[in-house]
A and B are shown apart, each in its own frame.
Chain A
């Protein structure tokens, strides 16, 4: 069971596709202009990663190692096409919102990366879970960036939600005369936000490491005070 725990933690935090592996920047730049767009793409990505990892893990015995890359690309492209067509036919309202994003998932190298690094070497259940959890890791980061960019860039949240749920409408968070902050809506805004999030993650990791180190030292030399020569991290 602990293997499944690790897979979940890896996708969510330790090997987060956007914060640690830095994969999937192309859709991140294009789509994270609003919370609704970001969550929509994140959900579609989870679906495709689940299907891709499942398909590759179940077919891996049949795929010769030397030509695995073209076969993976073929499988992913075929699955994205099928998802695209099915959404268009059976979930048309959602397709009108997500439609332009679904083909973009092919450009998301996180799908190919997980297929190659994980699904091709692991069992069906583990590979499927990995696909979902990596997708979830992608979803929460792109949603956070989308929300921040939308809030700072145009002062709203959930704008465009009426296209998915006609009863709801976006929220004007900042005053109506908020002038907007254009660069946040343009691609550089995505880079700035992502950079700050990565810095924040690295900082919190470094802090946790430092605490663990101090605890080890305390355990070895119970009488000593915590190391004085190390500058303490302050919040």
Chain B
């Protein structure tokens, strides 16, 4: 008489109940994503045209239709490029210090701790810092560079963390093999360790770029606003695409709201493209694909 007993109805009900709650919560999480993407695409396409991509807002009156985001797109690309040029070398070198040189030292523990703390800095605070330091204390003007500095404060900790993780994945065997060939440490790092972790680091950096490309608050306080094209990131107020969306969204006319949606669509396309490229690079050499 050893028939397999069935689970009691109560336990089965509880199991099913929790299962449906879990499925439901995933659905709830996906709803806003779908809703946001759908609205951005639907409303954004209305003004996503050549005029939008090639014109600025210069001489566009408060109630006029037309105008575009060329100045903002240009500004964002320049600011993000500058921020990357500043934060990638610093972030990468810091990660190299943490993994290759500073292991176990007090300095490396302090740096590691403050990198974590820096990850949590609100973006508006990084903007305020550049405002306080660069613009108020040093008396330098609002500019794309100031914005790039604020963005790099947000970008650096992300670059450090992802690069550090990738460098730690490089097996110690490879470093030892290189030392045993009489290769100095710094060449071992630049010629063996970095190439081995290259794709992982690139993925992390791309994700960091994608993250800061969408930041608005730091730009608000550091590049200020302009409706005109200013291609010089070192001089005078610039525009940024997120800032453009914020600016247009706060205006009361329908034409401005349309421009805001088109700007949001452009911004999402840029950010998603960066994300996609990052994932593809990561997938390209992932272990799942076989080495």
User: Is the pairing of A and B real?
Assistant: no
| Chain A residues within CB distance 8 Å of chain B | none
